[in-house]
Chains A and B, each alone.
Chain A
Amino acid sequence: MQTDWSVVLTFLPQLLAGAKITVQITIIGLLGGIFLGTIAGLMRAYGGRILNAIAFTYIELIRGTPIVVQVMFLYFAMPVLTGLRVDPMAAAVVAIVVNAGAYIAEIVRGAFLSISKGLSEAGLALGLPQWKVLVYILGPLAFRRLIPPLGNQFIVSLKDTSLFIVIGVGELTRTGQEIMASNFRAVEIWTAVAVIYLILTGSMTVALRVIEKRMRIL
């Protein structure tokens, strides 16, 4: 078998363009996911019966179905139901937001509930309203405990973007697939794609380590 690694260099600009789209979907998707997940997680932890039930239904619906089915639904079924054309990039971002949000909700809930009840009582006993106890006392403590499981979710979501090949978003895996179809350089191209993913996830890991080191877990 002959390998020719120079093809990697030839197609590097294309691969990097794909990687850029992967990063875009991941960052926007995770920002939305953190927002949605925090709200859903707090609804689960502190909401009344109704808020809790809404958040619970959302989380179970998403965790119980594959992300490929979710994005297919968004891209192919939603236009049928609503009559609106959905852009593949938008479908991809929304899929990450909704999917990561469900997992992050459980992470947020766990982090908040793991903090001793005594601290919340100490805040309330000073005369603080519940929301200030959440924002100023429990929030900063929960945030530190969130970092390790959140890092895990970031990596999972980044890799999940590769599944959007099914709706034709030009992210990294799709780009690799297209280059492959034109020159059949499987070993070189898929190695290059894997290395780029490793660099992306590796940078995330390093960034999270730095944050974790700066914040002692209390």
Chain B
Amino acid sequence: MSIIEFRKTSKHFGDLKVLDGVDLSIDTGEVVVLIGPSGSGKSTLLRCINGLEQITSGDLVMDGISVRGGKKQLRLIRQEAGMVFQQFNLFPQMTALQNVAFGPRKVRGLTRTEAEAQARALLEKVGLKDKAGHYPSELSGGQQQRVAIARALAVRPKVMLFDEPTSALDPELKQEVLNVMRQLAQEGMTMVVVTHEMAFAKQVGTRLIFMEHGKISVDGHPREVIENPPSDRLKDFLQHVE
């Protein structure tokens, strides 16, 4: 059953076509890895799903709700689609626990006690039980990103969107974040991940999409596509990221 559906979706910034008539259907349980050179539109594709970027034409439906349906519909979509950012974007005035409890309290209307109990469980899940009282500035990048994942999960989304979640991290910190993502995929979470981590794509991804000039140029099974790139452009790209 498809949960995210792009229908001839285009996004223009002035004359620049960042997304050019994309047709794409993502099913529940898929782990879709988006790759492509910078400026190919992969981040924009992701950000259109939860309406952080507005689409110019076509339609984009998430869990039966169109992103063009207005503000209220957009908020519903955002509650169903958690997002993790490259720069973590944790709220600096709140502790790890408060960051994670914030969404459920303000969006789902949970009481502080309920939200914090749930937040503690989520922090434990991402391996940061003992960091609940720490502020983001007191955590490493990898820890901050794991808190950010817990924060997104706290709203109980059906889909998780990852926008280059490990690009701002040192190599040794990447793994702890990728491990949490791997665990999430194993639990059956539907995920769309923009990344350059090819090992992760091969191991965890169920589908790999290569984007070029705002279009999907390759769409296939990660292992097959990585081992036998169907286009020279992709072959060239893979050589550069490996």
Contacts and interface: CB of A to CB of B under 8 A. Distances in A.
B89 A132 contact: no
A136 B106 contact: yes
A119 B90 CA distance: 7
Interface string A15-52: 00000000000000000000000000000000000000
Nearest to B107: A127
B89 A118 contact: yes
Contact of A127 (B79, B93, B148, B151): B79
Interface in B77-118: 78-79, 81-83, 85, 87, 89-93, 102-103, 106-107
Contacts of A218: 92-93, 137
Nearest to A135: B106
Interface residues of A, number: 19
A170 B52 CA distance: 56
Given A136-B102, A136-B106, A126 B78 contact: yes
Contacts of B76: 127
B148 to A, nearest CB: 8
Given A132-B106, A136-B106, A127 B78 contact: yes
A122 B107 CA distance: 13
B134 to A, nearest CB: 14
Interface string A124-139: 1111110010001100
A170 B74 CA distance: 57
A130 to B, nearest CB: 8
Nearest to A130: B71
A122 B89 contact: yes
Contact of B52 (A119, A124, A136): A124
Contacts of B152: 125-126
A190 to B, nearest CB: 46
Interface residues of B, number: 26
B155 interface: yes
A182 interface: no
Contacts of A132: 106
A125 B52 contact: yes
Interface of B: 50, 52, 71, 75-76, 78-79, 81-83, 85, 87, 89-93, 102-103, 106-107, 137, 148, 151-152, 155
Given A127-B78, A127-B155, 19 more contacts: A116-B87, A119-B91, A119-B92, A121-B52, A121-B89, A122-B89, A122-B151, A125-B83, A125-B152, A126-B152, A127-B75, A127-B79, A127-B107, A128-B75, A128-B107, A129-B75, A140-B93, A141-B92, A218-B93
